[in-house]
Amino acid sequence: MKLTTAVNYFISLFILCSPLTALPAFLNLTQGRGSKERKRVALWSGFAVAIILILVTFVGKGLLNVLEIRVSAFQCAGGIVVFLLALSMLNAQISPMRQTEEETGFKASVSIVPLAIPIMAGPGTISAVIVTSSNYEGFYNQIILAGCGAIVGLITAALLYFAVPVEKYLGLTGLNVVTRIGGLILAAMSIEIFARGFHDLFLAGFQ
């Protein structure tokens, strides 16, 4: 694998994960939590993104084949989850996916779902990783691709880690504006994800 190919893959992976777009969702999902806990969620999210991308690089294609799960079906499910989150953000409300009434204390589940997956390491990202790892087989190439995923996860953790100072700078009104804009973006993303998945499922029905 050439250096330019690896760089292009890293840039594409970062754009697909879009951690900047996840900032409003992170602030919304962690609203009401302490600063230390929110930073822990940020670190867990970045770690989860890195682990997901690395695992998918090595076992993604084989796992989907074994479970007989199509990426298109995964896209439809992910689109629905993101859309539900977007609805709460458009109303500047705390998402019910943040924490149930029975949950107390720190929960890593929010870091993994929906922050790490499907918002950042979503169906589109996973699909791109599976396709690229299939085109560049071999242990050396897989290590390079996995390294790109790890770096993306590290950058993601850093961006979310400093989301708390950003919230203080924006204030309540500014945060609500950013949250609603982020919700609108996520809503559009969710429709796009679902539409692509449904389109592939629809076409598969005639094959």
Indicate if the pLDDT at residue 137 is higher than 70: yes
Indicate if the pLDDT at residue 29 is higher than 60: yes
CA dist 42 and 12 (Å) reads 22
Residues in the chain: 207
End-to-end Cα distance, the chain: 35
Indicate if the pLDDT at residue 167 is higher than 70: no
Average pLDDT over residues 173-182: 72
Count CB atoms within 10 A of the CB of residue 184: 14
Is 14 part of any domain? Answer: no
pLDDT for res 170: 67
pLDDT for res 143: 95
* Structural domain of 191: 3-7+24-204
Indicate if the pLDDT at residue 106 is higher than 50: no
Is 17 part of any domain? Answer: no
Is 141 part of any domain? Answer: yes
Q: Is the dihedral of CA 115, 134, 65, 190 positive or negative?
A: positive
CA dist 73 and 113 (Å) reads 17
* Number of structural domains in the chain: 1
User: Could you report the per-residue pLDDT of 45-79, keeping only the tens digit for each?
Assistant: 999 999 999 999 999 877 777 877 777 777 787 77
Is 68 part of any domain? Answer: yes
Is 91 part of any domain? Answer: yes
Is 19 part of any domain? Answer: no
Is 78 part of any domain? Answer: yes
